[in-house]
Structure formats: C-alpha cells, structure tokens
Amino acid sequence: MPSSLALTAIIGAPLLGFFMTIVWSRAAAVVASLTSMVVLVAAVFLAVSVSAHGAVLTSLGGWDAPLGIELAADGLSVMFMIVSGAIVLVVGAYAQHEFVHPGTETRSGFAFWPLMLVLLAALNGIFVSRDFFNLYVCFELLTLSAVAMVTLNGKTESITAALRYLLFALLGSILYLLGAVLLYAQFGSLDMGVIGQSVSSSGAEILAAGLMTAGLALKTALFPFHGWLPPAHSGAPPPASAMLSSLVPKASYFITIRLWFDVMPELAGNPLTLALGGLGGAAILYGSLQAIVQTRLKMVVAYSTVAQLGYLFIVFPLAGGDSAAQPWSAGAWTGGMLHALSHALAKSAMFLCAGLFIISARTDDLEALRGIAQTMPMTAFAFTLAAISLLGLPPSGGFIAKYLMLTSAFASGGWIWAFLILAGGLLAALYLYRPVRIMLSLPKQPGQPFKPISRWWQVAPLVLALGAVFLGIGSNEPYALLQIGRPVAAETGL
Amino acid sequence: MIDSLFDLVLCALIIFVAFAAVSGRDLFTAIVFFIVYGLMVAIAWLRLEAIDVALAEAAIGAGLTGVLLLGAYGRFKNIDAARMGSWVPLPVLIVIALAATGLSAAVGVVLIALDPNGLGLIPAVNANIAQSGVFNPVTAVLLNFRAYDTLLESIVLVVALVGVWTLADNSAWGQRVGKTQSVRANGVLQSFGRTLPPIGLMIGIYFVWAGSSQPGGAFQGGTILAAVGLLSAMAGLFPPPRVNDARLRLSVIAGPILFLAVAIAGTAWGGMFVLPADLAYGLILAIEIVLALSIAITLMLLVLGPPEMTETPQ
Amino acid sequence: MMTWASGWLIYGLTGATLIGLGLFGFASHTNLLRRILAFNVVGSGIFLVFGATGFRVPELGADAVPQALIITGIVVALSATALAVSLITRHASLSGSATLPDDDREDR
C-alpha cells in the first residue's frame, strides 16, 4: 500500500506543483524545490521497496488492464526516476538565480517553473506507464513543455529551433500513435503485459513496432533525425538545456527499450538490431566530428549529446542478433542503462557549467573563455569531472557503462561495435579536451575580464558532476537495482 | 446496398476534400477545404455510430482548428509571396510520395488482415459500466476506466497555454491577451455577439450535463462554451482578460485541479482514481462541470493567443 | 466472411489513405501553416482507422474505448496545433517568413 502511494506521489506531486506555480508564481521557486524533493524522496522510497519486494504494480481506479491503465515501477524505472528527480532538484536550485525576479512577474520568470514541473511529471509518467496510449499522452505533455522551454529567451533563433523541434516531435508522436492504434486493433488492449503475452509476429505487430520505433527514434534524435537537437538544446536557457539534453531524449529511448526487451523481443531480428546499432554508430561518429568543429561551448555540448545518444542504440546489436542467448547480453543491457543515467548527470552538469560561463563571460565562444578557470575554478572542475564521465574514464559512471558494453562486444565477437565504442571515446577526448584546455590556460590579457559568480551558484553543476562520478564508484547499488524486474530478453538476447 | 453506396460516396468525398486541403493552390483555399473536411469526417463518425467523436470532431477538429488556422492566415498578410513557401524539390517530392503511399498501403493490408470479428473492449466495458456511475460508455471510459488519460489530456491543454503565453513580448507581459479587436458598433459581428451567446451557452451546458447518459461531455460542451466566449470577446462584450489575472489563472486550472484532487482522494477508497460506485455519479458530474468551464476558458485563451495589446492610456 | 462492402473497412481504408495524404503534405510543403494543416489530416486519418476497427461488429455498436481515446487524441492534437500556430505567427512576425530558414530556398 505505501509503495503504491509513492507511485501516486511521483506523478501527483509535480502536477500539484505545476498548478501551484501557475497561480502562485511569486513562490514558484520554493514550490518547485519542495515538489522535486517530494518526488526524490518518493523515488528513493520506491527504490527501497523495489529492492526488498520486487516491482510495484498498481491498477489506476481499481480497473485492471486491459480495461484500465496500470502503472509499474521496477528497478529500471526507479533508477531513472531518482536521477530525473535529482537533476530537476539541482537545476531548480540553480535556476533561482536566473528565473526569480523580485517585484512584478516577468514572462520567463512565470513560465519556467510550471514547465519544469510538468516536464518532471511527464518523465515520471513515462517511466512507470504500462499503457501504450497513456504513453502517447505523456509524450505530448513532455514535448509541449520541452518545446515551450526552448522559446524562453524569446530570440528569433530560439523560436526557429523550437518550431523545428516541434515538427520533428509531432511527426514522431503521430507515427507512434499509429503504431499504438494498430496494436489495439490487433489485441484489443494497449497494455504492455497483455500484448507481450500474445505476440504472434503478425503484419499488424511488425508494422506497429516499426512505426513506434521510428517515432521514438525521431524523438530521441537518433541519427539521421538529429537535426533539430543542437539548435534547440543550445538555444534554450542553460537550466532548460540541462533538462532537455539529459532527460527528454532518454524518455523516448526508455520506451524503445521497454518495447523491444519487455513486450516484443520475439520480433527483434538481425535487421532491426543491426539497423539501430548502425544508426547509433553513425550518430557517434557524426556527432563527435560535429562537436570537434564547433566554436561555441553550448554547441559542443549539444553535438556531444547526439554522439552519446548513439551509444544507447548499440545496446540492440550487442544484446541481440548473432550474440543472442549469450550471458553477456545482460551486460550490454545494463551497460546501456548505466550509460543513459551517467550521461544524464554529466550532460546536465555541463550545460549548467556553460550557463555559468555565459553569465561570467557574456558569451559561450570558446576562445572568449580562455583562462576562465582562474575566476571559476569550481565550475571548471565540475566541467572536467563531467567530461571524465562522458569519456568513460575510471572511476566514473560512464566508465562502468562503457566497460560493460565493451566486454559484451568483445565476448560476442562484435568487433565493429567495440571499435565504435572505442573510437567514440577517442573522439570525445578530442572535442572535450579543447574546451578544458582553453578554460585552464592562462588568460590572454592580464586582469579580470570575467564577472565573478557566487560560490553557492557554482555548487549546482558540481553536485551533478559528482553524481556522474559516484555512479561509477558506488555502482553496486544502482547495478543491483537495475537487475530487479530486468527483462528476460536482456539476458537471453533479443 | 444503398447504405454502403452512401459510405463509398462519403469516403470518396472525404479523400477528395482532404486532397484539396493538402494540395490546394493557395493557403486560404486549403484552410477552407480543411474545415469542410472536418465536417465531413464528423458525418463519417455518425456513420460509425460514434456520436461523441462526431461532436468533438466538428467542434474541435473542424471548428477550433479551423479558427486557429484562419487566425494565423490573417497574420500572414505582410509576408512576401516569395517567402510564403512552396514545395520541396521534385526528387524529394517523389521519395516522399512513394513513402507515404507505401505506408497507406501497409496500413490498408494490415486492416484487411484483421480479425473481422474483433470485439476490442466492448465486452469489458459492458461488464463494468454498471459500477462506473454513468450510462454513456464513452463517458465511463473517459472519466472512470481511463480517467488518468483524461486528467493528463486536460493538463496538456494548460501546458499548451503556458507555451503560447511564453511567446509574448517581454514588454507585453501583464497586458490583456490577444490582439486589439476593433468592432463596428451595431455591425453584424456585434449583433451576432449579442444574440448568439445565450443560445450557445444553453447548448454548451446541455452537452456537459447530458454527457453522463447521452452523447456529450466536458470537452464537447467546453468547446461550445469557448466559442460563446470567443464570439462575445470579439463582439466587444467584455475586454479580454489580463495574462497575470489571478482569477483567470485559477479558472484555467480549477477543472484539472479538482480532477487531480478526486483522483488522490481515491487512495482513501483503495487506490488513486478509485471512485466508489455510490459516489461515482456525483463526482463525475462535478468533475465534468468544473472541467468544462476550465476547458472553455483555456480553449478561448489558446485561440486569442499571447498578450499583444498595447494599452492606450484613457 | 468479410466483404469489400463491410462498412468499417471502407472507413478504415479511407483513414489509411488520409494518413498517407497527410504525411505527404506534412513533408512536401515548406509553408509551416500548411504543414500543420497536413499534420491534422494525418491525425484524423489515424483516428478514423482507430474508430473503424472499433466498429467491426456493428450489431454490438461502436467500441467505447477507441471513441474515448479519439476524443482525447483530438484535444491533444488541438493543443499541439495551438502551440504550433502561435510559434508560426511569432516566427513570421520576427523573421518575415512563413517557412523555416533552410527550407526556404529564396532565403539563402
């Protein structure tokens, strides 16, 4: 009973916070902090409950599937909810400096807080939903709040970026919706469990799964559908970028994993796993090369997201295809999930660092940041820590993730995938070395061209970067939690 | 035979009108065809015995969407013809056409292969409707069996409104929403605006109330009420509200918040969204009424757009 | 036995046609308003497929679950359309263009 109450709180609290920040915008920042704390506590409570008693399942309204909607929290969803809650909590604390204005209400000071909270509600809704149509509504909630966040600074480029983002996301939604409709036509149910039990490789299922995967890939910005991501993520205000880049694409990826590993692993064959893995590999190479040639810090970080999202799709060939039914595919699945989580922490830290640099230097031109580490050593340190995790260096979470993926690639003889993972690491070293070197180098002219930034403000990105490192040092708990409710297909292969 | 002939003709017309809406020569024609298309699809819904959907399609799909598109068209007057856009290059066009045709064909093949006796959830709905508190099965699904979807959907509307407002100029924050309307005194719009609202108000309220036993409900009734509000605002019967008006914001979220409160209260009866059978009717009716008002105001504000008015000192 | 005259199938196939028609319009126009219009055609095509498959046994009436979900879908599509239309008008007033920069060949 208490664990289903926690499940209620994890969605109900941010929705309540959303309403409160709309009518009571003067207290919005406080409401947002309290709300994300409640969500985090509920998520940790669920984690304890899940590790003690296994996955939590509840039928909303007392109506079991297929008539009603069921929510479920397993190890995977709990881990994503904890990381999302933590990131939103820290970003909210950071954003107090940017979106709280004394005196009369302002446009962005009003809009940021409800958008942030409804984004969190939508994310949590996606992480626990077992119903394909309910997921569609959650995705629309997520998309509309994310797109609105891109427009917060009101610049023409941001409006253009938001429009492009919305068009891609709507196309993704509608392809996904068509898939869900076909599943209902075939099974008379939208529930993952009910559908998973009766998969029969009919045309309807294959078309539905293909449409849903394509729609979700669009939303995850998988190469070659990545075009919308860099302008949107670099055009949003940094606290918004931190959430958009670290969490929003993970939600659609999360459902891609649910779809193929939990619901219809029988349908996943070589063509699917190779196609997704191939696009993931292309994303790693293309995103990294683009990140290397960018001249603005936020664009480097945004293109790095394109590359890092690519790793997530290499999980498919590693856990499937020729390597199916091998014990190491569970390592690939776990590695992929850990990578999604540590990337979320590292990437949100990087965007917050970029935000502080912009406030201090008034630009994010890389060359203009020369020597900024002298003024802001703490932020430069946070950026470097986050970079270490993105590179996959020990002892970070990124290291454990890539290590798991790499060992499973070697074990299954997937040399191409091993090469891509290693090449991506080397390229990441190239695109991250440059900003770090510039920050740490001596300023061109003596004197202080940079505006000093309060220490407290600089704590926010550091906390997130430390979180990414901690995911590696203290990886036992997350690792064990991820195994609870782990799909059978993660072990036996797709 | 006559029956299916009617269906065939209707479907042919729908496809023809959709084609005209998608590929019509100029934007205005395309929008007009789109509205006609929405109305014809509403007739299709009547043929499929989905009266609730027919109402929603006519009011929201054709009506409000059409109004939104026409409103945006009006703002495009200052754009050069050269920057109004065209088609993508021919080779791309061919690829798109092939892909779209392929998808249509694939969906068609899947439909033909479906079990022609598939019942979906008809038996499950029939078996449980007695405990739902209402007689209209669609309302039972919307407000009881899958109430969670409906709650989130009502919040999607509010998020869209926050997003629309975010597009205001910084300097316009705190102003009245929408663009300045100028209405000719005693003109057609004003007389319409005076006579239609009372009638619309009654129809809207009827739909909300009827939803529990007959077709209708919060979203359809709310849309009609929104139309009433829009017409009255356009006729100058009341000034559009200010974006930071506390009462306005409260009225936008009142419906969703009541819905959420009832959902959370359900935990006392056994779980989130649980409605005890003896209280279900009253709770659903209360949610429908407040939700319809919130939806009406939100829809009206969505059509009016972000605050743009420059206040003229009196 | 199913025949081509089955009512639901006529509407289902019409929905399938509308999906393709709408997707074609969505991808082939550069004018943003026309793309959003086409997006709404795709949406109603999907709903028609959904509703038609819920009416396969006319003696039992229409399945209420697809009907309810279609109403939800119509409202969600309207929300997205409203945000998109506002973005498009804002974009048009700032840039003087009804298309996205890369799509407008006259712009370059």
Question: How far is CA B242 from each of CA B165, B239, B251, rounded to the nearest angstrom?
Answer: 11, 9, 13
CA distance B162 to chain A (A): 6
Model pLDDT for residues A168-225, shown as the tens digit of each residue: 999 999 999 999 999 999 999 999 999 999 999 899 999 999 999 999 999 999 999 9
**Chain B residues within 8 A of C81 when measuring between CB atoms:** 65, 68
**Chain C residues within 8 A of B63 when measuring between CB atoms:** none
pLDDT at position B235, please?
77
Structure token pair of residue B268: 């006392």
Cβ pair C67:B53 closer than 8 A: yes
Work out the mean pLDDT of chain B and round it to a whole number: 89
Structure token pair of residue A431: 């695109």
Q: Which residue of A118, A168, A178 is the best one to mutate when testing the C interface, meaning the one whose CB has the most C CBs within 10 A?
A: A178
Flag whether pLDDT at B243 surpasses 70: yes
Q: Which residue has the tokens 């996943």?
A: A268
Nearest residue in B to A175, CA atom: B103
Helix (H) or strand (E) holding A110: helix A107-128
Where residue A420 falls (left for φ over 0; alpha for ψ -120 to 50; beta otherwise) is: alpha
CA B223 to chain centre: 6
Mean pLDDT confidence for B12-23 = 97
CA distance C87 to chain B (A): 7
Cβ pair B137:C93 closer than 8 A: no
Alpha-carbon gap, residue B215 to B222, rounded angstroms: 14
Long-range contacts of A455-459 (CB under 8 A, 24+ apart): A455/A378, A457/A94, A457/A97, A457/A356, A458/A356, A458/A376, A458/A378, A458/A379, A458/A382, A459/A378
Q: Which of B252, B65, B232 is nearest to B154 (CA)?
A: B252
pLDDT at position A102, please?
81
Mean pLDDT confidence for B181-207 = 73
Alpha-carbon gap, residue B291 to B219, rounded angstroms: 8
**Chain B residues within 8 A of A69 when measuring between CB atoms:** 146, 148-149
**Chain A residues within 8 A of C91 when measuring between CB atoms:** 156, 159-160, 163
Question: 3-state class of A222 per DSSP?
Answer: coil
Alpha-carbon gap, residue A346 to C99, rounded angstroms: 36
Number of other residues whose CB lies within 10 A of the CB of residue B46: 15
Cβ pair B147:A115 closer than 8 A: no
pLDDT at position A412, please?
82
Nearest residue in C to B82, CA atom: C106
Q: How confident is the model at residue B189 (pLDDT cuts 50, 70, 90)?
A: low
Q: Which residue has the tokens 């109403």?
A: C71
Flag whether pLDDT at C5 surpasses 70: no
Share of chain B above pLDDT 70, in %: 93
Share of chain C above pLDDT 70, in %: 90
Alpha-carbon gap, residue B177 to B161, rounded angstroms: 11
- Domain architecture of chain C: domains with CATH: 7-101 (1.10.287.3510)
Alpha-carbon gap, residue C81 to C79, rounded angstroms: 5
Nearest residue in A to B126, CA atom: A67
Largest CA distance in chain C: 60
Model pLDDT for residues B73-102, shown as the tens digit of each residue: 988 887 887 788 889 999 999 999 999 999
Q: Are A422 and A406 in contact (CB under 8 A)?
A: yes
Which residue ranges of chain A lie beneath pLDDT 70?
Answer: 1, 321-329, 445-448
pLDDT at position B182, please?
56
Structure token pair of residue A381: 């340190």
Q: Are A407 and A327 in contact (CB under 8 A)?
A: no
Q: Is C20 on the interface with A (CB under 8 A)?
A: no
Q: Are A125 and A138 in contact (CB under 8 A)?
A: yes
CA distance C46 to chain A (A): 6
**Chain C residues within 8 A of A140 when measuring between CB atoms:** 76, 79-80
Q: Are C53 and C67 in contact (CB under 8 A)?
A: no
Structure token pair of residue B136: 């209209």
Tally C-beta pairs within 8 A across B and C: 297
Q: Is C32 on the interface with A (CB under 8 A)?
A: yes
Alpha-carbon gap, residue B43 to B21, rounded angstroms: 18
**Chain A residues within 8 A of B275 when measuring between CB atoms:** 61
Flag whether pLDDT at B220 surpasses 50: yes
Cβ pair B84:C13 closer than 8 A: no
Work out the mean pLDDT of chain A and round it to a whole number: 93
> Which of C 73-102 lie inside 8 A of B, CB atoms?
74-83, 85-90, 92-93, 96-99
Domain definitions of chain B by residue range: 1-86, 123-314
**Chain C residues within 8 A of B150 when measuring between CB atoms:** 68, 72
Alpha-carbon gap, residue C48 to B50, rounded angstroms: 11
CA distance A336 to chain C (A): 32
Higher pLDDT, A164 or B204: A164
**Among the partner residues A133, A164, A185, nearest to C53 by beta-carbon distance:** A185
Cβ pair A137:C76 closer than 8 A: yes
Number of other residues whose CB lies within 10 A of the CB of residue A51: 15
Alpha-carbon gap, residue B100 to B161, rounded angstroms: 32
Please count the CA atoms within 13 angstroms of the CA of A96 that sit on its side-chain side.
Answer: 17
Structure token pair of residue A475: 């990886």
Terminal Cα-to-Cα distance of chain C (whole angstroms): 58
CA distance A67 to chain B (A): 7
Flag whether pLDDT at B32 surpasses 50: yes
Q: Are A396 and A466 in contact (CB under 8 A)?
A: no
Q: Which residue has the tokens 């529990």?
A: B212
CA distance A138 to chain C (A): 10
**Among the partner residues C85, C96, C97, nearest to B68 by beta-carbon distance:** C85
Q: Is C46 on the interface with B (CB under 8 A)?
A: no
**Chain B residues within 8 A of C13 when measuring between CB atoms:** 11, 108, 111
Q: Which residue of C32, C47, C69, C79 is the best one to mutate when testing the B interface, meaning the one whose CB has the most B CBs within 10 A?
A: C79
Cβ pair B170:A106 closer than 8 A: yes
Cβ pair A159:C87 closer than 8 A: yes
Q: How confident is the model at residue B237 (pLDDT cuts 50, 70, 90)?
A: confident
Q: Which of B139, B298, B260 is nearest to B208 (CA)?
A: B139
Q: Which of A329, A332, A334 is nearest to A492 (CA)?
A: A329
Structure token pair of residue A285: 């190479």
Where in chain B does DSSP place strands (E)?
none
Flag whether pLDDT at B165 surpasses 80: yes
Please count the CA atoms within 13 angstroms of the CA of A257 that sit on its side-chain side.
Answer: 29
Alpha-carbon gap, residue A383 to A387, rounded angstroms: 6
pLDDT at position C2, please?
42
Secondary structure, 3-state, A172-212: HHHHHHHHHHHHHHHHCCCEHHHHHHCCCCCHHHHHHHHHH
Alpha-carbon gap, residue A174 to C41, rounded angstroms: 11
Question: How far is CA B129 from each of CA A94, B86, B143, B277, B281, rounded to the nearest angstrom?
Answer: 49, 51, 12, 10, 12
* Rg of chain C on CA atoms, in Å: 18
Flag whether pLDDT at B308 surpasses 90: no
Terminal Cα-to-Cα distance of chain A (whole angstroms): 35
**Neighbour subunits, A (≥3 Cβ pairs < 8 A):** B, C
Q: Which residue of C18, C29, C50 is the best one to mutate when testing the A interface, meaning the one whose CB has the most A CBs within 10 A?
A: C50
Alpha-carbon gap, residue A237 to A95, rounded angstroms: 10
* Rg of chain A on CA atoms, in Å: 21
* Rg of chain B on CA atoms, in Å: 22
Nearest residue in B to A208, CA atom: B107
Cβ pair A63:B118 closer than 8 A: no
Flag whether pLDDT at C104 surpasses 80: no
